[in-house]
Amino acid sequence: MFRNGHYSASDMLLKCPSSTLYDLTGVCVLEMGPVPLSLLLSVLFLLCVTPALSSGEDDYTWPQRKMPLVIDRRTVRLSVSSFSAERRSELNSTCGIECQREFPEPSLEALQEMLSYETMYENGTRTLTSVTLQELEVTPENTSSSSTSRRKREVYGPDTRFTISDKQYSMKYPFSTAVKLSTGCTGVLVSPKHVLTAAHCIHDGTDYIKGAEKLSVGVLRDKKKGGKKRRGKGRKEEGEAEKVDTENTEIGGKKRERKYKGRKSRSRRSAASGKPTFRWTRVKKTQIPKGWFKGVSDSAEADYDYAVLELKKAQKVQHMELGIIRSVRKLPASRIHFSGFDDDRPGNLVYRFCSVSDESNDLMYQQCDAKPGASGAGVYVRLKEPGKRKWKRKVIGVFTGHQWVQVNGQQQDYNVAVRITPVKFAQICSWVHGDSSMCQNT
């Protein structure tokens, strides 16, 4: 049913007639149009069956490989950040895939320099940790390029994003792994206490952005959860969540708080309709690779646009594990998925899927429709677990948004995602578990 300018998730999520595509994507998403249903289902059936006939089992299985070790070597204290940077909705003058092909592969020393990382704690203090890499295997460079032209702009042709407005879907895995940052970005839960997001959501390469000193993460929750026995407490928590949201997204906390008081009836009406809201949790510390900072490597800044946030409290929702694949374009349909909180659909979770048009070892160009606010979303695919008949979704990248990149000496705009490579996997896993030796196998 068409409601408020978009279709509800229940109208658009349909199980495949064959299990193949369902196992790859979890759902089949159909665009409503004038095509007869019988013809549409016939085409859908062929799409579901054909990849299974034309591809080997390896195309559908998560690869197994040994990861390198990222070992902390030395940590020094830094001065407190001034938190003066402005959030950037677009990244300019980025050295993209074509630009990076002109540079040699980084040396071990250069990799160690870029994987060194900065930690910022809740009280604003910072440290810089240098690292060493061990047991690093050299893999062939991914030099694939697209034979089709890449179109520009954040939305490609008809807008194919799907608003997941029904809590029946938004509160369930995999959509429930998407979280909202108080700075206006998206993130993905990679453990009960850790969120993976884009580095530019909290840092502009020179300094932390305004609002990062009181960074919070919002997890979707049901307003009505808790029943009659917890009604009083539940309403209090709900009000607190709304207050944190407005204070971190608007200028003038006191003014916004007064306005909030006049919205209680509207909030209760929203709760009665079953629309989910956010449970906000403060961030305990953040970690960003040094490769993201300006002046460390002008050609590789975009490759390190990722960060991990550690929450003060563990979340009681399922998280999504990290995964590595050698080539996204060799997957069936070269398809990726991610969900985020796009600015033009406030308060709603927005899901999309699309094909990757070009990739390197560190970046993916794709034509997923997106708006500011979706940056930091976890890009995932669904493949078989080795030796099992079970399928599993894993995060293979971070959506970093609409970027201007250098192509043949000129600036062109694309939607970009950072790929999780073996060394990035080892680093992120070490940040999450605190011990790199626990992260040697995918």
Q: Which neighbouring-strand residues pair with 308?
A: 196, 287
| pLDDT at residue 285 in the model | 97
Query: Which residues are bridge partners to 128 per DSSP?
Result: 76, 118
Phi, psi of 202 (to 5 degrees): -130, -10
**Number of separate helices (H) and strands (E) present in the chain:** 10, 21
Query: How do residues 31-75 score in pLDDT, each as one tens digit?
Result: 333 334 343 334 334 444 334 433 445 668 999 888 999 999 999
**Cα-atom radius of gyration of the chain, to the nearest Å?**
22
Going from N- to C-terminal start, the domains of the chain cover 1-54
Sign of CA dihedral 177, 179, 185, 191: negative
Query: Residue 239 is inside which H or E element, if any?
Result: helix 231-249
Q: For 95-110, what is each residue's pLDDT tens digit? A: 778 777 777 888 999 9
Q: Round to whole Å and give the CA distance between 265 and 67.
A: 53
Query: Average pLDDT for residues 235-239, to the nearest whole number?
Result: 38
Alpha carbon separation from 61 to 57, 97, 114, 334 (Å, rounded): 7, 27, 31, 14
Q: What global pTM score does this model have? A: 0.77
- Dist. CA 297–CA 111, nearest whole Å: 10
Which has the higher per-residue pLDDT, 293 or 333?
293
pLDDT at 330: 86
Q: For the residues 172-200, what does the mean pLDDT come to?
A: 97
Which of residues 265 and 400 earns the better pLDDT score?
400
Question: Which of 306, 86, 372, 90 is CA-nearest to residue 209?
Answer: 86
Instruction: State the average pLDDT over residues 104-125.
Output: 94
- Identify the pLDDT of residue 18: 36
Contact residues for 234 (Cβ-Cβ < 8 A; gap 6+):
223, 225, 226
